[in-house]
């Protein structure tokens, strides 16, 4: 079957990205054929489409890490007509990905569309939103309590951050949103942030430990912001670190860990086992306010890729962007 797909051709040093018409028979692996209705655009998609970081490890490759769609050729636990999603699992890295009207995927990485969500909503949530959910699960699993605890969310107006703000605020946490874009304050307060701080407002002044300000952190930025977030984390608090939008480095000391018992918890979304994914997605379907999801999301057309990826990396977007195929 012929399909339009966004493909990267070349090698790790130099590659081009273009829409092509290909045949699903050329798909390297996969036993479930899915007609994709929607896909999402994530930070990693931006990096892959622009070549700004070495995301792609196998060429040629179909880009895109998230999809929602309908099964047209069944295998495994799926039957024709089932609504499904796929997120991560090496898509757009080592495995042909989501930016194609038709895709073929191994049944083992396909999961049912959670009850209560449309394909468009699932793509709007996407890897960014599902990663936000994994971070929130890390915080609540550590014992943080709504109504009592303050949580800092960095990179708050981006994809992961905006969903994290929405989920945490709706659960009843006191959400402190950190954003470099003062003009997004209204947006973040509408999502439920109790406080909105500029990036400079959490500087610990180079000290390894400073006054305790939050019990938990969802960090997408890394670098100095993560170091400052650790330095001001409360006794027995937890930092869920999932991103590097501000840099991959981390300069800290052992003191917050050995004197305050602070936990630094890494969060990955790509290789999470299926059972935990399904829990995360079921919780998103139940707890993410659909009105807030609509407020932080926009759906654009397939042809707008890869310009959307560039705009995302340049900080010209807020919240989540999905594309309809
Ligand atoms: P977005 O681009 O949507 O959001 C990132 C936000 O970070 C921006 O909106 C901005 O927020 C802030 N930011 C950007 N650049 C800087 C900077 N130089 N210094 C400080 N803050 C900055 O990306 P996503 O939300 O989709 O992804 C965020 C991060 O999480 C990325 O690094 C991504 O790779 C990672 N990620 C990791 C996953 C995992 O499995 N571990 C899964 C998904 C994402 P503001 O303007 O409000 O300050």
Write out pLDDT tens, residues 152-183.
999 999 999 999 999 999 999 999 999 999 99
Domain count for the chain, please give it. 2
Q: In terms of domains, do 53 and 90 share one?
A: yes
CATH number at residue 63: 3.90.180.10
Nearest CA to ligand 1 atom 14: 245
Q: Which residues pair with 104 in a beta bridge?
A: 33
Q: What is the pLDDT of residue 109?
A: 97
Q: In terms of domains, do 130 and 260 share one?
A: yes
Question: How many angstroms does the Cα of residue 270 sit away from the middle of ligand 1?
Answer: 16
- Sign of the alpha-carbon dihedral angle for 315, 318, 320, 324: negative
Q: Tell me the pairing of strands 83-87 and 111-112.
A: antiparallel
- Domain hosting 221: range is 126-266
Our mutation pick for probing the ligand 1 site, out of 44, 65, 130, 155, counting the most ligand atoms within 8 A of Cβ, is 155
Residue 249 belongs to a domain: yes
pTM of this structure: 0.97
Q: In terms of domains, do 134 and 255 share one?
A: yes
What parts of the chain have a pLDDT lower than 70? none
Q: Is 267 exposed, middle or buried (0-12, 13-18, 19+ CB in 10 A)?
A: buried
Rounded to 5°, angle at Cα 314 from 313 and 318: 80
ipTM over 0.90: yes
Q: In terms of domains, do 307 and 254 share one?
A: no
Q: What is the pLDDT of residue 47?
A: 97
Pocket of ligand 1 (CB under 6 A): 42-44, 127-128, 131, 155-161, 179-181, 184, 199, 220-221, 225, 242-246, 267-270, 312, 315
Q: What is the pLDDT of residue 150?
A: 98
CATH number at residue 194: 3.40.50.720
Our mutation pick for probing the ligand 1 site, out of 41, 43, 131, counting the most ligand atoms within 8 A of Cβ, is 43
Q: In terms of domains, do 106 and 22 share one?
A: yes
Q: Minimal CA–CA distance to 101: which of 6, 3, 33, 2?
A: 3
Q: What is the pLDDT of residue 275?
A: 96
């Amino acid at each position: 079957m012929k399909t339009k797909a966004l493909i990267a051709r070349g090698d790790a040093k130099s590659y081009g990205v273009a829409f092509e018409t290909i045949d699903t028979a050329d798909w390297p692996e996969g036993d479930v054929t899915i007609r994709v209705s929607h896909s999402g655009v994530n930070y990693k998609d931006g990096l892959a489409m622009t070549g700004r970081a070495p995301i792609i490890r196998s060429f040629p490759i179909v880009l895109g890490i998230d999809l929602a769609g309908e099964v047209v050729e069944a295998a495994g636990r799926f039957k024709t007509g089932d609504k499904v999603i796929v997120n991560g699992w090496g898509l757009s890295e080592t495995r042909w990905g989501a930016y194609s009207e038709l895709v073929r995927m191994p049944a083992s990485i396909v999961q049912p569309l959670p009850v209560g969500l449309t394909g468009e909503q699932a793509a709007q949530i996407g890897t960014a939103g599902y990663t936000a959910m994994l971070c929130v699960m890390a915080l609540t699993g550590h014992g943080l309590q709504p109504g009592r605890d303050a949580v800092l969310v960095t990179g708050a107006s981006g994809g992961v951050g905006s969903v994290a703000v929405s989920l945490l605020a709706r659960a009843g946490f006191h959400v402190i949103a950190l954003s470099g874009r003062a003009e997004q304050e209204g947006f973040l307060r509408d999502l439920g942030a109790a406080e909105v701080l500029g990036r400079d407002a959490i500087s610990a002044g180079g000290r390894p430990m400073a006054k305790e300000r939050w019990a938990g952190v969802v960090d997408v930025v890394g670098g100095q912001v993560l170091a400052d977030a650790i330095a001001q984390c409360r006794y027995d608090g937890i930092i869920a670190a999932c991103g590097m939008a501000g840099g991959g480095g981390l300069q800290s000391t052992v003191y917050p860990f050995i004197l305050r018992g602070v936990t630094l918890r890494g969060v990955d979304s790509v290789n999470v086992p299926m059972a935990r994914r399904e829990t995360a997605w079921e919780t998103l379907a139940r707890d993410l306010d659909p009105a807030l999801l609509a407020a932080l999301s926009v759906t654009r057309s397939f042809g707008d890729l890869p310009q959307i990826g560039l705009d995302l990396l340049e900080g010209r977007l807020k919240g989540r962007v999905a594309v309809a195929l």
